[in-house]
Amino acid sequence: MKINGENVAAFCGTVWDYLEQHNYQMERVAVEYNGEILQRAQYQLVILQPDDVLEIVSFVGGG
């Protein structure tokens, strides 16, 4: 599995599970899954596979 350009150990669970386990704020991320942007509603439906590629972008507010 590749996440943000780095090879990582396979993860058993959904995109939501991965984000939650790694302390991402769901309302502040965008996820590209195998080249396709996922809608937030899909995070709990997509089960990760060993050959998947994720790009996770966190949005940061500030002033």
Q: How does pLDDT run across 9-39, given as a tens digit for each residue?
A: 989 999 999 999 999 999 999 999 999 999 9
The answer for residues whose C-beta is within 8 angstroms of residue 38's C-beta and 6 or more apart is 15, 31, 32, 46
Q: What is the DSSP letter of 39?
A: P
Query: Terminus-to-terminus CA distance in the chain, angstroms?
Result: 36
- 58 pLDDT more than 70: yes
CA 62, CA 2: separation in Å to the nearest integer? 30
| Cβ contact 59:30 at 8 Å | yes
| The pLDDT of residue 63 | 58
